[in-house]
Structure formats: C-alpha cells, structure tokens
Structure 1
Amino acid sequence: MNHDFPSFNEHNEDFEDLRDLLQQFENLREGRSHSFLDEDSFELIIDYYDEHDELNNAMQAAELAIEQFPFSSQLLLKKSSLLLDAKKYKEALALLDKAAVLDSNDINLYILKTDAYLALNQHKKAAQLLEAHLDQFSGEDRTDLLLELADVYDDWEEFEKVFDCLKMVLEHDPNNEEALHKIGFWTEFTGRNEESIRLHNQIIDDYPYNHLAWFNLGTAYQGLKLYEKAIDAYQYAIVIDEKFDYAYRNIGDAYIRLRKYNEAIEVLQKHLEIAKPEDVIYEAIGYCFEKMRRYTQARYYYRKAVHLNPTDDKLYYKIAVAYMLEQNWENAVKSLQSAMKLNKQSAEYNMSMGGCLLELQRNKEALGFLVNAIRIRPGSINARLSLIRGLYVSDYFDDALEQLELAEGKIGKKPVFVYYRAAIYIATGRTKEGLLHLETALQMAPKVLKKLLELDPAILQHTGVVELVAQYKKKR
C-alpha cells in the first residue's frame, strides 16, 4: 500500500528527511528493500503518525521498532503511550514494567504509569508511585512530578494534599507559573489563607516583581476579609503588569465589600478597558450604582450585561428591582415578565410580580402570582406572608385568616404571624381579640412590630394599638 505523504510547504531539510524515513518505513512494511532504520528514525516515524492521529500506523511502527531494538526503553515508552491512547491500560502497565527494568530514571516512565493508574481508577497506587520516586529527581523533573501528584490528589478529591504539593513546588521553584496559577484557587478552596500569606511573602521577598505572587497574596488576604491589605497587594500586581485583568476584578470586589462603590466602579471600568467585556463586570457596576441609589445608571449597566447574556433571568430581575426601588411599578412588571419568560419557577419573581400588581391595584392578578409563590416554595415564610398581605389589602380577611392557619401549620407559630392575626382581628372589628394578640406578639418579639406597620401603616391611628405600644415601651 503506497502512502501519499502530505506535501507541506516546508522548505527545510528536516521535512524532506522525514518524508524519506516514512517512505523507508513503507518499504519495510511492504517487505520491499529499504535502508536501515535506526532507533531515532523509528521514534520520528512513531511521533509523526501519533501527531496525525494515525494510531494504527503508529502502533505498527512501534511494534516493528521494538522487534529490532528490544532493549530500547524509549521505544517501549512510546508504545506504552500509544496503548494508553487506545485505552489498553493493563497492557501499557506491563510494558512500562519492562521499560523500568531497562531505565528507571526516565521521568516519562512515572508519568505514563500514573496516567494508566488514574484511568483504572487506582488513585492510591498512582500517588504511592509518585511519592516513592520524588526524591529520585531534582530541578524541573521534580517539579513536573509534584505537579502530576497534585493532579492525582485533585482527581482523588484529597484537596488538602493538592495544596501541599503546590506549596512544595513553590518552595523549590518560586516562579513556577502553573503552580502559582493553581495555588490561588486551592487556597480559597481549602481556606489555608495564613499559610498562603507566609508562602507568598517569602516568594515576594526573593522575587519582588512576581506579579502572580502579589495577586495570590491579595486573594489570601481577601479570604481573611482583610480587604484593605488585599487591595494593596493587587495594586502591586497591577504596577508590575498593568494589563492584569483579574487583579482589577478582585480589587473591584474588595471595594464593593468595603462599600466603597465609587472606587469599585472606577476600577471595574478600567477592567472593561483592558479586557473583553463580560456580563459579570457590567452587573457588578450596576450593583454599585444601585447601592448608591442611582437607579437609572444601575439599569443601564444591567442592560449591558443582558446584551452579553440574554438568557440570564436574574439580570432582568435586577432591572425590575431597580424600578421597584423607584416605585416605577409598570416598568418593573415588564422586566419581571422578561425574567419569568426564562424562569417561571422562581418564588421570588412571583412574589415581586404580586407585589407590583397590588401597587397597581390589579389585585386579582396579584393574588394568582402570590399563590404560585407558595406552590413553588411551601416552606418559605416570605411567600406565606406575601399572600396573607395580598389578601389583607384586598379585604379578603377570612381568606387571610385561613392562610394564617395553614402557614402556622406548615412553619410553626412565628411572632410575625401573631402580629398579622392581631391586624386582621382589628380590621374586622374584633378589637379586643386583636389587642390581646398584639400584646402576646409584643411579649414574644417587640422588634417584629415593624412587620405589622409594613402590613398596615394606618393601624397606628387606632387608639388601643397606640396605647398598648406606648405602655409596652414604658415597661421595657
């Protein structure tokens, strides 16, 4: 079978040589006369086929090569790697044992064995193998084995040990980018912030221009809620690499947690200048404006986020909330409709829709949404209270009482339910009973009185209520 070997536009001699080698291999395979192929030539041929995903040809080349050079550990490793690709893990391991007898100092031997053990779900064997041979290697090889061991532990869900391995890498090789990138995540995951701070301070003492070490120092401080220190560390990372977008993002987050919204907006806008726009950044800027009660700007940035991520119902909900905070109920309803097109099963959206429709005096519609919220989350006290409030303001007092019974049956006798019961009795002229319930509620939880006033601010015009509350304040 004659192969048409690809004719890349390669003007270098190497490619011509490789073409000759492949032709020689074809001749060998077909039993025609051929030049002698040495070990290196076979390796090149195997690599060529492997890189071009011609596994059968690569395997055949490896087998012919091993026939001619049975004591070449390199060729045994190449064939083992092909067997792993073919998912023949046990065969690969048998071959790797042979290779180990010939040369036990090749790092690839241990990496391939580890891959085989992981594929067979034998994490313990993989970890033991690497641990046993760590001291055999130094420099880059030792680093590679430690990174491999970290991956084994990750796969095995031994997360503390992942952190340990990455820490060992950085103690020997403080500028190793892979370990620096990974340890930030694992610090956060394992909560080993103090250790991370010590480690990265040590690295920075020796390599003050290591921007990743400064960044990791920042994330460790942030993990301990030391936001000012975190910001300082991130600022150093940015001085060293001014296009370090993750540092800007984290500074923004730290400022938000410190409630310094102007500073957060400034730094997040800087992020937008240097990196591809992302919905989460626009959303964070929107959140800052919302917290500063600048609702028009908040909606502007939430809409920019929606533009990048039109299927995220939470973004439409945030736009709705920014309208609700301005009591712009009509527009809030429109945004809620968009959110609910994407997610009908949110109790929160149903409650908000019910609340807006009550404000617009569309009470019947409102009650439908409030009933829905309870159907979705029967154990939610807020959903229960929203429906009872809806019935109360719609003058459906009997239904409100019935829903109160159901709520207490489901959730228990909460003080807020006692306040609501007091309000319903007072509203229906059963004043004496109402005041008794109010007194009980005040004894249970005086601070929850505000829930009663939210339900019906006019209740304070009732002299009995005013006297009772005043009397209770005097007692306290």
Structure 2
Amino acid sequence: MEEEFLDFDDNQEMESIEEIAKQYADLKNGISGNILSEMAFELLIDYYDEQQNLNKALEVALTSREYYPFSAELMVKHADLLIADRKYNLSLDILEQARLLNSDDINIYILKVDALLALNEIDQAFEVFHTSLNMFEEDEKLDLLFEYVDVFDDYEVFDMVFDCLKMILDIAPNDEVALYKICYWVEFTGRFEESIRIHQKIIDSNPYNELAWFNLAAAFQGLKLYEKAIDAYQYAITINEKFDIAYRNLGDVYIRLRKFKEAIEALTTVVELTRPEDVLYEAIGHCHHKLQNFPLARLNYRKASHMQPDDNKLHYKIALTYMDELKWPNAIKSLEASLQIASAPEAHLALGECLLHQSAFNEAIYHFGIAVKQKPRNIPNWEALIKGLYAAGFFEEAEKQAQFALEATGQRPIFHFYIAMTLFAQAKNKEGLLQLELGMHHAPRLFRKVLELNPGIMQNSRVVDILARYNKSRH
C-alpha cells in the first residue's frame, strides 16, 4: 500500500498537538502507515521541548530525520536539542550538514557559535560569527546580531554583547530595543567613552532621539561628568517631558552633586509620572534631611515605610531626624520600632546615644554593648561604650573596655587616650601619664577627641608638659 503523508492545509485549522502526538505514536508502533509532515514533526518537537521533555523531543527529532533526511529545518531543530543535551560535537556535525543544504538559515550560525562557545573554542566561535555577518544584509543581519547578543550573554562574553549592540546601532541607529539594551551593557562593561562616541554620532543625525540623549547622559554619569550628564538628561526630558527614567537618573546626579532641592524636584516628577516606589520616597526624604527639612524628611520616610513595613532602616532614618532636632523621646520610639524589625548595630548605637541624653545610663551602656558585640572591630562603637561608662561614673569598667578595644581594633592609638582618661578619673595619675605618652607618640592629634570627657585635665601641669613636648616636636 502506498504511504500517505499527513499535512496541513494552509486554509484549514491545524490539527491539535494531541492528535499529532497520537499519530506519531501510531507511526512508531506500526499501527499506521501514515507519515507526519515536516511541519507536524516540527510542531511535535517544539511541544516536547516546551514541556521540558528533552528526551522525547530528541526521539521525535531523530525519527523525523529518518523520514526527511534532507530537511535542513529538522536538522537545525535536532542540533538545537543536542546542544541542550550537551552533545556539542554531534550538534556541530549536523549543523554543517544543514549548512550544505541551506546556507541562508541564520539559526545554523547562531547554534554553531553556541556549541563552539560551550566547547570553549573561542577563536572558532568568533570566526563563525564574523563569517556569518558578511553573509546577510539589513533585516536578516539585525536578527542575527540580536540572537548573538543572547548567546554571548549566556556564555558571559560581555564585551561581544556590547559589540553586537554597537553593530546593530550602526545599521539601525534608532532601534529602541538596542538603545535600551546598550545602556545597561555600557555600565556593565564600563565602556563609557565608547558609548559617548556612539550616541553623539546618533544624535548628530537624529537630534530628537531621546534614548540616544539618555544613553549619552548615562555614559557621562558613569564617568562622573555630572554637569554634562545633567545637560544631556535635560535634552532627553525636553524631547519627552514624560521620560520618567531620565528624571530618576537626573535626581541621582543632583544628589551626588549635593543639589538636594533640584533632586527633590526631579524625583517628585518621577512619583507623579509613575507608580510611587519606596526607594523614591526614601531618596526624597534623604534630600529633605540633608536640607534640614526634618518634618518633610520624616513624611517621605514614613511614606516609604508604609510601602516597606519590614524595612528597619527607614525607622532608623526617621529617628535620625528626631536626633538632629534633639527630640530624644521621639527618636527612642522610632529606634525601638527599628529594632523590633531587625537588630542592627547602628540602631543600637543611636539608641544608646539617645538614652545617654536622657541620663538612662545603664540602658545606654546595654545598647552600646550590643553594638560592640555585633561589630567588634568598629571604633565608634567602642568609643560610645567607653564614653557611656565614663559618663555613668564606671571608670574602672571604662578602663577595662578601653583595654579590650585596644586589642580588638589592632592597637588603635585613640584607645591609649581613653585608657589614660579613665586612669586619671581613678586618680591613677602615673599609669595615666604613661598611656598618654603612648597615645601622643603614635597619634598626637587624636587627643582632642577624648578631651571632652574631662576638659579639666588641662589643669594638670604634667599633662600639659607632655602635650607641649609632642606639639613642639611636630613643628
């Protein structure tokens, strides 16, 4: 009996994939003499591939080639699956067969580069890459380059990702996808100067290309040429007044330049143009904080906190605004809220400071101690603990902790001065003078940091003599 081929009429609805799978099973089991069409095999291969059933997809691909041994399309699908199965050399052999049958299929070259990169045959992969680019023009070349972008990304050949995008923009300078993508890869590869040249060339021929202006600004920003970045972002915004990403980046540049009023204006525009985000409110709060607009800073930090209730740092930042206003009870409340979410040394340190101002010495010392325990090499934490103990009159314990601090921080000279002050407070003048000598020998300028503990120590003539001697030797 003559074999019949199951095919699809272009004018009829395509049979369901389940029916094709049944027909394939009948074919494999010898129940039916009907042979699936190339298209049916391709659909079935794609179906199993999408279902992540690689073994079944490979089986169908191999079977399809028995019936259509000269189908370049089926060879390419088979080779693609073999790459997924890490059979790279076999895949390359099949791709070469497919190339001899149909050298115009861009997928052959994409998969060849994929397989060669997997085998770490970098030079051969680049050779195929460059050869293929000379074979295609315009739209096909663009398609090829976009595919190569993904392949080189997968194998972390990041400079080639940038190079492909650059080639795309040489052909199609207004391609939005390429313009969006290259902005990310410029930052990732650090090729800022090159990006400036690329986008200046695009702008010369199309001065109203907002994405080119944006990318130019981002490249200037990457080089910390902030004034030039501002100019370019403003051009982008002039072309498209609803360009929210440009306003966002502009806000970041203004913050870096400490132009907080301008940053607030830019970031507020982003909030108006897009959905509110906690990071935007936090950044606006930061700007108001720097401008000492403490109520407005808190308002924006709270807006951010409502959107991210589990972010302990936002409560901490609210507390800092109260501390700047010397509103210790309010600050304590915010810090306690922060610590309920997560324990952080900076929050314990700040809470200790607030409690110290409230003369709650024991509680303050407790929180300073936690800060030290969490970051035992942090000098400010140790200083806060020692100062707290000193303020509470626990001079012996302060001396002990200053000795621990000296060891924990790698013999930092500042702690010789703290030890000296605690010894003077205990009327151990001889030992105190020895520690003062050590401190002055290593870092004489640090003495003023500890003088606030007991300014009256300057009435001690022997202390003054030591200070004078080292100050004289410095000059």
Short-chain TM bin? 0.7 to 0.9
Is 2:319–2:330's contact at 8 Å kept on the other side of the alignment? Answer: yes
1:409-448 aligned within 5 A: 409-430=407-428, 445=443, 447-448=445-446
Is 2:211–2:236's contact at 8 Å kept on the other side of the alignment? Answer: yes
2:353 is matched with which residue? 355
Tell me the secondary structure at the aligned position of residue 242 of structure 2.
coil
1:5-44 aligned within 5 A: 16-19=12-15, 30=26, 32=32, 39=38, 43=42
- Cα distance 1:309–1:211, how it changes in 2: closer, same or farther (>3 A)? same
The Cα offsets for residues 361-406 of structure 1, whole Å up to 9 and x where unpaired, read as 2222222222222222222212221211121111111121222222
Q: Counterpart of 2:386 in structure 1: which amino acid? A: I
The Cα offsets for residues 30-61 of structure 1, whole Å up to 9 and x where unpaired, read as 45576x87655655676677678787886676
Tell me the secondary structure at the aligned position of residue 373 of structure 2.
helix
- Cα distance 1:216–1:462, how it changes in 2: closer, same or farther (>3 A)? same
The Cα offsets for residues 122-161 of structure 1, whole Å up to 9 and x where unpaired, read as 6666455324433333323334444444444444444444
Q: Counterpart of 1:270 in structure 2: which amino acid? A: T
Deviation at residue 460 of structure 1 after TM alignment: 5.4
Q: Counterpart of 1:111 in structure 2: which amino acid? A: I
2:137 is matched with which residue? 138
Q: Counterpart of 1:408 in structure 2: which amino acid? A: L
Is 1:130–1:145's contact at 8 Å kept on the other side of the alignment? Answer: no
TM-score by length of 1: 0.82
Deviation at residue 332 of structure 1 after TM alignment: 2.2
Is 1:73–1:102's contact at 8 Å kept on the other side of the alignment? Answer: yes
1:384 is matched with which residue? 382
Q: What count of residue pairs does the alignment treat as equivalent?
A: 460
- Cα distance 1:120–1:329, how it changes in 2: closer, same or farther (>3 A)? farther
Alignment partner of 1:263 is 2:262: yes
2:455 is matched with which residue? 459
Whole-Å separation in 1 of the counterparts to 2:386 and 2:465: 24
- Cα distance 1:81–1:194, how it changes in 2: closer, same or farther (>3 A)? closer
Q: Please identify, of 283-292 and 41-50, the stretch whose mean Cα deviation from structure 2 is larger.
A: 41-50
1:364 is matched with which residue? 362
Whole-Å separation in 1 of the counterparts to 2:231 and 2:254: 12
1:210 is matched with which residue? 209
1:407 is matched with which residue? 405
Whole-Å separation in 2 of the counterparts to 1:199 and 1:44: 42
Whole-Å separation in 2 of the counterparts to 1:53 and 1:280: 38
Tell me the secondary structure at the aligned position of residue 293 of structure 1.
coil
1:248 is matched with which residue? 247
1:104 is matched with which residue? 103
Tell me the secondary structure at the aligned position of residue 17 of structure 1.
coil
1:6 is matched with which residue? none
The Cα offsets for residues 393-447 of structure 1, whole Å up to 9 and x where unpaired, read as 1111112122222222233443422432343244334567657766775675565
Q: Please identify, of 15-24 and 333-342, the stretch whose mean Cα deviation from structure 2 is larger.
A: 15-24
Q: Please identify, of 280-289 and 145-154, the stretch whose mean Cα deviation from structure 2 is larger.
A: 145-154
Q: Please identify, of 45-54 and 411-420, the stretch whose mean Cα deviation from structure 2 is larger.
A: 45-54
Q: Counterpart of 1:170 in structure 2: which amino acid? A: L
Q: Please identify, of 433-442 and 147-156, the stretch whose mean Cα deviation from structure 2 is larger.
A: 433-442
Whole-Å separation in 2 of the counterparts to 1:84 and 1:221: 41
The Cα offsets for residues 247-297 of structure 1, whole Å up to 9 and x where unpaired, read as 111000111112111111111111011112111111100100110111121
Unaligned runs of 5+ in 2: 1-8
Tell me the secondary structure at the aligned position of residue 167 of structure 2.
helix
2:274 is matched with which residue? 275
Q: Counterpart of 2:215 in structure 1: which amino acid? A: N
Whole-Å separation in 2 of the counterparts to 1:135 and 1:235: 39
Whole-Å separation in 2 of the counterparts to 1:116 and 1:212: 34
Tell me the secondary structure at the aligned position of residue 16 of structure 1.
coil
Q: Counterpart of 2:355 in structure 1: which amino acid? A: L
Let me know the Cα RMSD of the aligned residues.
3.7
Deviation at residue 85 of structure 1 after TM alignment: 5.8
Q: Counterpart of 1:368 in structure 2: which amino acid? A: Y
Is 1:127–1:149's contact at 8 Å kept on the other side of the alignment? Answer: no
- Cα distance 1:28–1:329, how it changes in 2: closer, same or farther (>3 A)? closer
2:233 is matched with which residue? 234
- Cα distance 1:121–1:340, how it changes in 2: closer, same or farther (>3 A)? farther
Deviation at residue 168 of structure 1 after TM alignment: 3.2
The Cα offsets for residues 315-334 of structure 1, whole Å up to 9 and x where unpaired, read as 22212222222222223233
Deviation at residue 112 of structure 1 after TM alignment: 2.6
Tell me the secondary structure at the aligned position of residue 19 of structure 1.
coil
1:79-118 aligned within 5 A: 79-84=78-83, 92-117=91-116
Is 1:127–1:153's contact at 8 Å kept on the other side of the alignment? Answer: no
2:340 is matched with which residue? 341
The Cα offsets for residues 334-368 of structure 1, whole Å up to 9 and x where unpaired, read as 32233333332x33222222222222222222222
Deviation at residue 472 of structure 1 after TM alignment: 8.6
Whole-Å separation in 2 of the counterparts to 1:19 and 1:225: 60
2:5 is matched with which residue? none
1:290 is matched with which residue? 289
- Cα distance 1:351–1:186, how it changes in 2: closer, same or farther (>3 A)? same
Whole-Å separation in 1 of the counterparts to 2:277 and 2:92: 46
- Cα distance 1:20–1:263, how it changes in 2: closer, same or farther (>3 A)? closer
Deviation at residue 180 of structure 1 after TM alignment: 2.0
Deviation at residue 177 of structure 1 after TM alignment: 2.9
Whole-Å separation in 1 of the counterparts to 2:432 and 2:47: 88
1:4 is matched with which residue? none
Whole-Å separation in 1 of the counterparts to 2:16 and 2:143: 35
Q: Counterpart of 1:463 in structure 2: which amino acid? A: Q
- Cα distance 1:59–1:245, how it changes in 2: closer, same or farther (>3 A)? same
- Cα distance 1:335–1:89, how it changes in 2: closer, same or farther (>3 A)? farther
The Cα offsets for residues 213-245 of structure 1, whole Å up to 9 and x where unpaired, read as 111111111122222211111112122233322
Q: Counterpart of 2:110 in structure 1: which amino acid? A: I
Is 1:320–1:336's contact at 8 Å kept on the other side of the alignment? Answer: yes
- Cα distance 1:309–1:118, how it changes in 2: closer, same or farther (>3 A)? farther
% identical aligned pairs:
46
Deviation at residue 72 of structure 1 after TM alignment: 1.8
Tell me the secondary structure at the aligned position of residue 12 of structure 2.
helix
TM-score by length of 2: 0.82
Tell me the secondary structure at the aligned position of residue 163 of structure 2.
helix
Whole-Å separation in 2 of the counterparts to 1:54 and 1:428: 79
